[in-house]
Structure 1
Amino acid sequence: MSAPASQTPAFAKEIALLAVLATLWGASYTFIKIGVETIPPITFIAARTLIAGGLLLAIIKMRGLWLPRDPAIWKRFLIQACINSVIPFTLIAWAELTVDAGLATILNSTTPIFAFLLTVLITRHEAVTGRKVFGVAAGIVGISLIIGLEAFDGLGKELISQLAIVVATISYACAAIFGRGFKGLDPMIPAAGSLICGAVLLIPVSLVFDQPWTITPSADSILALLGLSVFSTALAFVIYFRLIHTLGSVSTTSQAYLRVPIGVGIGILFLGETLASTAWFGLIFVIAGVAAMTLPSRKKAAATA
């Protein structure tokens, strides 16, 4: 009798890669926090998309693949770039000028919740279940615990920054829905195409507003930019698309709640950050909500076993 799939070395390797993916994406918020200390957000994100897109393009060519030439597909890449990189990347980078990396991690982890709400209201391709409703409710409570108390003190700069991360999270949710239209392509192709489009959009803005030739970034910010681009973007995409094929999309999305404690822990360890008591409670609710939204049900797991 063969060993169960969950006990095979190959499965253990994929689970290890899932943990690596959660760590890479959890670390991205700390990379951003360090990077924007001396590099303006727009320039920082323009460089991120350019470096990561170039690396993915090189990997695609090494695999013997080519980017499509159809203008209609590139139009979709452009839209995907706006909602999956240009808007959310820039908003998060700007927000982290004042918001801690740990809080950014928590708020941005609610993407599956907003994606579900958007599908219910617009596309209606997701079934409404009691567990998903619980996930939405827990996520909303978590966000309220994190930013709710500050709302009573007026619209301060930090509150606006936190709301910017929520807007970025909603943008990611829109991108997840829009990205369903790339089913006929190798998953790395729309990733590279959208990142390249993002760089094309952001570089001119950076040149006009930031004048990057006048910037004197610190060595830490440059290293953070390289770490974010190479590891938390390009390498993370490669691992992500591998796991989509080996573990399946549902299991791979579990990194959404794995990266929350990892991202918060990295911020505490390397940046000396702390969370307010209400934010710790919010973290618990957010993890519970995202887990309820992403973990497969027992019946579904049994059906796919």
Structure 2
Amino acid sequence: MTASTPGPRGWARVAVLAALWGSTFLWIDIVLRELAPLQVTFTRCVLGALVLVVACRARGHRLPRGRTVWRQLTVAAFFCNALPFALFSVGQQTVDSGMAGVLNATTPLWSIALGLALGSESRPGPARLAGLLLGFAGTVLVFAPWQSGAATGWGAVAILGAAASYAVAFHYLGRTLVRRGTPTLSLSAAQLVAASGLTAVALPVGGGLAPVDPGPLVVVAALVLGVFCTAVTFHLTCRIINDEGATNAAVVGYLLPVVSVLLGVLLLGEELSARVVLGMAVVLLGVGLTRRAAPAPGRGGVRWPRVRGGRGGPGGRVPAGARGE
């Protein structure tokens, strides 16, 4: 099955995924009112792991075995879950949730830049290079280093670091864990289990062991963040890629920052300046140019590994270890 225009059901999945994924930053903002950043990270990893492990058992899958694969999963969990989750929580102590969603949209740009540095990306053509430069220019516009306050400071740097960490994780996953015959659901569940362990070890740092007494709103926000924004988003991403193809799944990346900005403005009363809107548009335009000019799979593009029990053809391939924020 080749990527095609999704039908009403497919667009509904895209809309739900964008809403869940884009709302991640809203829920982080709420949970941070009473929990420390590492407590937020640990809670998110544990809840997501529990949901995916239960899903694995329900489908008759087992978690991967062997020291080598678990060593690789631990590295992937650090760069794809533990580190970026923690950086988002640290960053959102001073950065609005909408701004965090916009800065998160730079992940594809970091991925291309890293691929060029590692030699895994072919030399970009004029359009793709223009998209890369335009995307980073939009980030600078959002970041506004010439101004004091707003998006400047270590908070924005932490969030950009989280986006870059995702890019490192995707390159590592592509080199080590994909196309090994293990179901994607099993790999993702194991990855969050490993991330939970890594975060538990780091809890004593930064007040992670401080006693907490969260109110009902924070408890609900933590549950939504772990169950829906971490575990369910992964499942929906795989379904979209399986049924409509990876190209259509990428539409979510364009909707995510829009959702995060709107939720921040409507529910948290965050300010929305013309500069941020323009910067967001420039970032998305740059990402769009890099994707439209990207090489086709098989010629330097992303190869989507087949999953056992999935449908045949390109539409039946999903990325092992794909993230759900």
Q: Normalized against structure 1, the TM-score is what?
A: 0.89
Deviates most, 254-263 or 287-296? 287-296
Counterpart residue number, 2:235: 238
- Distance in 1, matches of 2:38 and 2:133, equals 34
| 1:1-305 alignment runs, 5 A limit | 6=5, 11-126=7-122, 128-148=124-144, 150-151=145-146, 153=148, 158-180=152-174, 181-183=176-178, 184=180, 185-207=182-204, 209-210=206-207, 212=209, 214-295=211-292
Q: Residue 280 of structure 2: SS of its match in structure 1?
A: helix
- Distance in 2, matches of 1:126 and 1:241, equals 27
Deviates most, 63-72 or 116-125? 116-125
Give the deviation of 1:281 after TM superposition: 1.2
- Distance in 2, matches of 1:187 and 1:286, equals 30
- Distance in 2, matches of 1:223 and 1:201, equals 24
| CA 1:51–1:248: 2 relative to 1, 3 Å | same
Q: Residue 203 of structure 2: SS of its match in structure 1?
A: helix
Q: Deviations over 1:135-182 (max 9, x none)?
A: 21121111111112x4454x9995211011111110011111112132
> Which consecutive segments of 4 or more residues in structure 1 shift more than 4 A?
155-158
| CA 1:111–1:205: 2 relative to 1, 3 Å | same
| CA 1:296–1:53: 2 relative to 1, 3 Å | farther
Q: Residue 94 of structure 1: SS of its match in structure 2?
A: helix
Whether the aligned pair in 1 keeps the contact of 2:95 and 2:150 (CA below 8 Å) is no
- Distance in 1, matches of 2:151 and 2:22, equals 24
| CA 1:223–1:166: 2 relative to 1, 3 Å | same
Structure richer in helix, relative to its length: 1
- Distance in 2, matches of 1:81 and 1:125, equals 24
Q: Deviations over 1:51-71 (max 9, x none)?
A: 101110110111111111111
Give the deviation of 1:211 after TM superposition: 5.2
Whether the aligned pair in 1 keeps the contact of 2:143 and 2:151 (CA below 8 Å) is no
- Distance in 1, matches of 2:232 and 2:112, equals 27
Code of the residue aligned with 2:141 in structure 1: it is L
Q: CA-atom RMSD, angstroms?
A: 2.5
Percent identity between matched residues is: 25
Code of the residue aligned with 2:154 in structure 1: it is I
Q: Residue 136 of structure 2: SS of its match in structure 1?
A: helix
Gaps of 5+ in 1: none
- The aligned length equals 294
Whether the aligned pair in 1 keeps the contact of 2:99 and 2:151 (CA below 8 Å) is no
Give the deviation of 1:210 after TM superposition: 2.6
Give the deviation of 1:266 after TM superposition: 1.1
- Distance in 1, matches of 2:24 and 2:169, equals 19
Code of the residue aligned with 1:55 in structure 2: it is V
Whether the aligned pair in 2 keeps the contact of 1:98 and 1:158 (CA below 8 Å) is no
